[in-house]
Each structure stands twice: as C-alpha cells, then as structure tokens.
Structure 1
Amino acid sequence: MRAARPPLHQWNLQPEQAIALQKELASRVIREDRLPSKVQHIAGVDLAINENNGLARAAVVLLAYPSLQLEEQHVYEEPVRMEYIPGLLSFRELPCVLGALNLLQQEPDLIMVDGQGIAHPRRLGIASHLGLWLDLPTIGCAKSVLRGHYNEQELGEAVGSWVPLRDQGEVIGAALRTREHTKPMIISIGHRVSLDTSIRYVLSCCRGYRLPEPTRLADRLSKNNAYREPASGSRGGQGSSSEAIQDSLWQ
C-alpha cells in the first residue's frame, strides 16, 4: 500500500463553485495509458440511494485479473450529502464511494466506475473525478448517454462492436456492444487509461452480461440491503468523515 495523498479539494461547495472546479480539474485528466505493467486487481464501484432512509450506499468489489475471482466486497453508507444536480453527480456520490474503497485491504490497479468519465458536459464525470482523487487508472462504464451522440446504424450487433461517442466533433467515449440484442454500454476514459485500452479491459471483464463483472457485481451489492459490512477493525462500514477517509485510505 502507498501513503495517502492530500485531499484534492473540499466537498462543501456551492453548485457554481463545483462547476468551476470541474472545469479546472478536467485539464488534469490523463487520457493516455499509464497503468501498471501487469494489472492484477480490478475494482468495481457503484452506489444506490435508499429513498426510504436517505442513505447513500456505495459498494466496491475487488476481482483478481484476469480470472475475475472475487477477492473482496464491501459496502459503506452515509447520509446523502446533496440533492441531485445534473452534471454534479460526483459531488453527491464520490465521498461515499471513497468510504467504500477505503475498506479495501488491497489497492486496485484499475477501477471501473458505474458512471461517466470524460463523456460529461465539462469532461469530468465521476470516473474521472475518482481517478484524479486517487491518482489511479479509472474507466467510466455508464448504462446511458449523458453527453454526446453515436451512430446507432453503424454499431454492429456482435459483441465487441463499437462506434465513437462524439460531442461537437470530439470523441469522448464509445458505444460498446457487450452483449448481443441489448443496448450498448457507454465507455469513456476516466483517468490514466486510453479509450482503446478501456474498451479492451471492459470486454475482457464481460461474462455474458451487459455490464462488465466489476460494475455488475458492485451494482448488485449496492442494491442488496440484506448485506451488512462486517464490523472489524477501525475502518467500519458507516459514517466516517471524508477527511478521515482521506487520512486512512490505503496507508
């Protein structure tokens, strides 16, 4: 494990401050491959909101790669921090996601995020934001388009077929067929992974489902309210502050 990094920024921002910060952080996103020479562990993260109790529930799974054997799974819950504002999802969800990632015993080499990377109005979706916060390679694996468009007629039905997702002439992602006769996944660069490499890793993690295994298992775990994080050690599964999380993350 490495020493924890200093916080990237504070979370208690007004919407206009968050938008300005996104524009600044987007310039720091690395869109080329800067991964370990051998990827051995891939994490998947997702988050669900429980409207009944107002809690955000983030889930993280850690899979061995390339076997995709499940090695760790954790959940972390905290009160929802802010209302949903389009384009500012990471400010609502990322602190809770960091809480879940903090429970990992093994640092991942790559993280797949259920959400957008640079396929975002300001080129800083939750996958890119997370990658910058941790300085780790991340891939955005979204179920739908937030920004941009792709040519549906040019997208083949075979698994592995993909077409560019474009916004005002810029390629910001790909519509990728991960399962026949289903809607494509929207894949985008998060941080430190090129688009071609992102597509390759996503396909290598698919096991007959639309979602790649890291985000599929995280999605399922985030919605499984019967699963509770075992109480062990000082890093429990509920309610630490984001500052405490930053101090202890993977030390």
Structure 2
Amino acid sequence: MVAWVETDVGGVSHHWDLTPAQARDLQASLAPRVIREDRLGPLRHVAGVDVGFEDEGRLTRAVVSVLTWPDMVPLEDALARVPTVFPYVPGLLSFREIPAVLEALARLSVTPDLLFCDGQGIAHPRRMGVAAHLGVLTGLPALGVGKSRLTGRFEMPGEQRGDGSPLMADDEVIGRVLRTRTGVKPVFVSIGHRVCLETACRLVLEAAPRYRLPEPIRRADRLASRRDR
C-alpha cells in the first residue's frame, strides 16, 4: 500500500508515482476519510475547478477560478500547466488531473471556502472521484458536479428547475440527478468532502441561476479550454 501522511491543513498527501493497481488500493484507503456531513464555515469565496489537456495529453492544464459568494463576482484565476504523470484509466482520472490542480491552488492568494469540481465526488465505483480525492487531500469542503453519469442507477427527474432524483449504487445513495434548468439535461451532484448531499444540491442551484452548470465551474471550464493564456 502506498503511504500517505497528514498535512498541516487538515488533509493528507500521498505519492503520485503509482501503478493503476496501487491507485485503486489508495482510493479504497482514502474513501473512508471523506466527511459526508456539513463542516462548512462562512462562505465568502468559492472556487470552480476544471482540467484540460494539451499536446495530445502530455500536458495537464488546470484552472481554479475564485468567485465571491453569494454574488459570484470573479475575484482571481490561477492556471497551472504540468506534465501529465498518470495514464488515462477510467475511474482513475483524479490521479491524472489533481497534480495540476494542486499547483493551481498553490498559486492563489485567497483560500477558497468551497470547491465546485467539474466531475464526480463519491458517485464513483470506489467513492473517490476527483471532488472527493481533492477534498480529502486539501482538507477543503468540496462537491462534485458531473455532466454525465459515471456509475449508479437513477430515474430521470422532473423537467422543472430544482427537480431531482437519487443516484443509487445498490442500496446506497451516492448522489442526486439534479435539474438546474427547466427542460435542460440534469447534472449529477455528489458529495466531495465536508458537505452533505442536501447542502451540495442547494449550493449548486444557488450557483447556477441562469445556466446548466454552476458559475464557478463555467468560468474555470472556459479558461481551461482556452489556449491563449
């Protein structure tokens, strides 16, 4: 088993030079450390996290966009490009993406009170998607907003904004399929760390007053997709 150690910010750290088998074992070790209840302080600054790739995947490009809360005025953007250190393996994307995200977070002058991650939290076969992994590593509250289902079963929610249905894995609720715009495809919301599912869904709706995706993720996604920065 790959070692991990406590950090001074309430999270953990671990090695990144892993085989896929070691990465899966590490996910299983980290999953019980996810805090699935609200342990949030006052929300003043929230951040969207998104990752893209350049040079045919050899370079990872991460953006963290900080916005004020609740008015969501852009405050600061941090971009990091780092060599990609992990192959593309379904279910292990966080090992490919997070090293660049940690570098972008380190470049911020403001520490976010909450991370909105483009991807899954515990709605993952080993309950350790990118939002959960990043939350446990940093100790920061985090939630996941997936554009599509990674795992689990669900019934399509109603068509109205705010309608939702549980995302299930056997008898466990691992997320919610949430309609953020009337008549538009829903998103898949799940716990990342230190935020319960009800609170995560409420915050996603508050952060998505006009579009399908929450504003912090929309901003990070636009910047992560650009090549002129």
Q: TM-score, normalised by structure 1?
A: 0.86
Moved over 6 A (4+): none
Please list every run of 5 or more consecutive structure 1 residues that lacks an aligned counterpart in the other structure: 228-251
Residues 57-91 of structure 1: CA deviation (Å, up to 9, x unaligned): 10110000001000001211012112210111111
CA 1:71–1:167: 2 relative to 1, 3 Å: same
Query: Which residue is 1:24 aligned to?
Result: 29
Per the alignment, residue 236 of structure 1 pairs with none
Separation of aligned partners in 2, 1:6 and 1:30: 11
Aligned partner of 2:149: which letter?
V
Picking from 121, 146, 153, the partner of 1:149 is 153
1:171-196, CA deviations, whole angstroms, 9 ceiling, x for partnerless residues? 00000001122211100000000000
CA RMSD of superposed structures (Å): 1.5
Identity between Structure 1 and Structure 2 (%):
48
Residue 14 of structure 1, aligned match among 10, 15, 19: 19
Aligned length: 223
8 Å contact kept, 2:57–2:84? no
The change in CA–CA distance for 1:168 and 1:7 in structure 2 (over 3 A counts) is closer
| Among 169, 173, 182, the residue aligned to 1:171 | 173
Q: Deviations over 1:14-63 (max 9, x none)?
A: 11111111001001111000000x21110110000124472111011000
Instruction: Report what 2:43 is aligned to.
Output: 39
**Amino acid aligned to 2:47:** A
**Cross-structure match for 1:118:** 122
Unaligned runs of 5+ in 2: 1-6
Residue of structure 2 in register with 1:61 after alignment:
65
* Code of the aligned partner of 2:22: Q
Offset, 1:5: 6.2
Q: In the alignment, is residue 224 of structure 1 matched against residue 212 of structure 2? A: no
**Match 1:161 to one of 134, 155, 163:** 163
Partner residue of 1:245?
A: none
Distance 2:32 2:11 in 1: 19
What displacement does 1:137 show? 0.5
C-alpha displacement of 1:207: 2.9
In structure 2, give the amino acid aligned to 1:21. L
Alignment deviations for residues 108-152 of structure 1 (CA, whole Å, 9 cap, x no partner): 110010010000000011100100111110000110100101101
Residue of 131, 135, 150 corresponding to 1:131: 135
Per-residue deviation, 1:169: 1.4
User: Counting strand residues as a fraction of each chain, which structure ranks higher?
Assistant: 2
